[in-house]
Chains A and B, each alone.
Chain A
Amino acid sequence: MNIARFREPTFIGWGNYVKLFSDPYFIQVIKNTLVYVLGTVPISIILGFLFALLVNRKVRGIGFFRLAFFHPMVLPMVSAATIWLFLFTPDYGLFNTALRFLGYTGPENWTGNPNLALLSVIIVAIWKNSGYYMVFYLAGLQNLPEDVFEAAALDGANSWQTLWKITFPMLRRTTLFITIVAFIDSFRTVDHIFVLTSGGPSRASTVLLFDLWLERFEYQNIGSSAAITVIFVIVLLAFTVTNFITSERKEA
């Protein structure tokens, strides 16, 4: 809220930025964000690609396989995260039951443990997004010209070679697109954090957009939230533009 009484706008130059970067919490938020982005983006993209390969076939009932990978995307995030909250329940939650079955003996209190809370929101994000990226890879695969593969087959390339030497390089534009989208998504989704951990315990799972939301709507500190918004956009832009320029240069 615009706290008219206490927060009259005054010119403070870089003040809000200086304050942010000298705040140990904000440094922790940056670190969390980094871990979150590095934890979700590459794995979701690789899984998305793998899923796309697995279901890119003309087989009866393949639609259900595609649905199996894509459906988490369709669920509203708040509902999905609430369902996961149950899966994460210590002791009898399905996630822990399954892990124990596989020989896991570590802590089961996923959302309350400062070392696991961030991991738990990463797991949910990967589960939710991989199928989304699969769809774009499927579309990309569809765009590939067939003659190249026919030629490769005539040359005796096995499917592994075809995959790495032909399919993947030819999907470069799709991968660029998905990488940028996945990167932006990883910054923009916070609903599951609200439901699963509220950014805790002790802010262990607070990422940049969650922090922005806190500053804007919880702390109602418009100065800080504006500064975070700017940092937020700069980071995303820097990534996108760099990625774009390096990748499209090859084509020029």
Chain B
Amino acid sequence: MEKPGLRKSLWQIGTWLTNILATGLALLWSVPVIWALVASFRPASDALSRGDVWFSDTLTLENYLHAWSMAPFGRYYINTILVVLTILVVQLVTIVLAGFAFANYQFFGKGWIFFFVLLQMMIPTSALLAPNFSTIRTLGIFDTRLAIAIPYFGSAFGTFLMRQAFISVPRDLVDAGVIDGCSWWQLIFHVYLPPSIPSLVAFGLSSATWHWNEFLWPLIITNSDKSRPLTAGLVRFTQLGEIGAQWSLLTAATLMVAAPLFIVFLIFQRRFIQSFVHSGLK
């Protein structure tokens, strides 16, 4: 504190080091996808080989066109977006309510109920295929987007996450809210939710990513293009067991499928803006 000038320059050096470290790691982490991006513009007829794994002489869009023509991707995009949004909206309601109940109330058997919620996270998905299929059949909604979404309307993971976020809210705030006469839903909206938005966003990103990329369950529970998601198109390029890998085609299809998520992430990551670093440690 006695030499603010020195301290300031030290701080600047620290910032620079942080920047260098961040840039280095970010590049390192991105190499696979940068390669995939480059490879997706490589003509399929140009074999990758030693000393020639990046750009070839020509750039081409043929891989994207080829991949696009292999399946009705336009319809798949719509289906995936609808399924993911449906799941997300319902989940946000259920996990907020469940997380609120576990964080705010004491009730009989709470420990056990929470235990069973956690238990649900641990059952291997392969063990759930047949029972879920059976339920969908009983409901008579086979081969619909709803059938893909319904098993995920509750989320143990999300409930757990929201409970963790809600119990971090200082008790004083909750008590103040109660004294002010907040109803339970006002408590949720005015006391619990505002500080938990980043957790909700984190959950939303993870849920969207997960359901965007799921393929086995949708493949089993739908059988026509009218209800199938993007992964039904992608799996067309990832399971070519009879032949060697078609790198350019696979990378093009992968990036095509993943691109919307990249954009969504860039939009929503703004929710993770911390201010204390600047306000607290200038």
Do A and B assemble together? yes
Partner of B126, one of A55, A63, A152, A213: A213
CA distance A73 to B35 in the complex (A): 17
| CB proximity to A under 8 Å, residues B202-256 | 202, 205-206, 209, 212-213, 215, 231, 234-235, 238, 245, 247, 250-251, 253-254
Chain A at the B interface: SS class? helix
B35 touches A56 (CB 8 A): no
| CB proximity to B under 8 Å, residues A199-241 | 209, 212-213, 216-217, 229, 232-233, 236-237, 240-241
Q: Tell me the smallest distance from the CB of A143 to a CB of chain B, in Å.
A: 6
B123 touches A233 (CB 8 A): yes
Known: A67-B262, A76-B257, A78-B238. A212 touches B126 (CB 8 A): yes
Known: A143-B168, A162-B281, A233-B122. A72 touches B275 (CB 8 A): no
A31 within 8 Å of B by Cβ?
no
Q: Tell me the smallest distance from the CB of B98 to a CB of chain A, in Å.
A: 15
Known: A69-B25, A174-B164. A232 touches B124 (CB 8 A): yes
Known: A67-B269, A79-B238, A232-B124. A87 touches B35 (CB 8 A): yes
Give the B interface residue count (CB, 8 A).
81
Partner of B275, one of A146, A176, A236: A146
CA distance A28 to B223 in the complex (A): 40
Closest to B119 in A: A237
A79 touches B25 (CB 8 A): no
**Quick one: CB contact mask for A128-140 with B, threshold 8 Å, 1 for yes?**
0001100110111
**Quick one: CB contact mask for B158-170 with A, threshold 8 Å, 1 for yes?**
0011001101101
Residues of A within 8 A of B122 (CB): 184, 187, 232-233, 236-237, 240
Chain B at the A interface: SS class? helix
A92 touches B53 (CB 8 A): yes
Closest to B209 in A: A74
Which of B68-76, B182-190, B191-199 interfaces with chain A? B191-199
Partner of B199, one of A74, A78, A139: A139
B21 within 8 Å of A by Cβ?
yes
CA distance A217 to B49 in the complex (A): 36
B25 touches A51 (CB 8 A): yes
Known: A58-B277, A150-B280. A63 touches B168 (CB 8 A): no
Closest to A151 in B: B280
Q: Tell me the smallest distance from the CB of B216 to a CB of chain A, in Å.
A: 10
CA distance A136 to B279 in the complex (A): 22
Known: A65-B26, A181-B157. A153 touches B266 (CB 8 A): no
Residues of B within 8 A of A209 (CB): 124
A54 touches B36 (CB 8 A): no
**Quick one: CB contact mask for A50-87 with B, threshold 8 Å, 1 for yes?**
01001111100001111111111111111110111111
Closest to B200 in A: A139
A36 within 8 Å of B by Cβ?
no
A76 touches B14 (CB 8 A): no
A20 within 8 Å of B by Cβ?
no
CA distance A44 to B212 in the complex (A): 23
B201 within 8 Å of A by Cβ?
yes
Residues of B within 8 A of A63 (CB): 266, 269-270
B126 touches A216 (CB 8 A): yes
A144 touches B276 (CB 8 A): yes
Known: A63-B270, A153-B280. A69 touches B238 (CB 8 A): no
**Quick one: CB contact mask for B32-60 with A, threshold 8 Å, 1 for yes?**
11011000000000001111010000000
CA distance A201 to B206 in the complex (A): 33
Known: A67-B269, A75-B33, A188-B124. A152 touches B196 (CB 8 A): no
Residues of A within 8 A of B279 (CB): 146, 149-150
A74 touches B167 (CB 8 A): no
Residues of A within 8 A of B124 (CB): 188, 209, 212, 229, 232
A184 touches B121 (CB 8 A): yes
Residues of A within 8 A of B212 (CB): 74
Known: A67-B265, A79-B254, A138-B198. A85 touches B245 (CB 8 A): yes
Could you jot down 6 A-B contacts, CB within 8 Å? A69-B26, A72-B29, A76-B254, A86-B48, A139-B165, A143-B165
What residues of chain B have their CB less than 8 Å away from a CB belonging to chain A?
1, 14, 18, 21-23, 25-27, 29-33, 35-36, 48-51, 53, 115, 118-119, 121-127, 157, 160-161, 164-165, 167-168, 170, 195-199, 201-202, 205-206, 209, 212-213, 215, 231, 234-235, 238, 245, 247, 250-251, 253-254, 257-258, 261-262, 265-266, 269-281
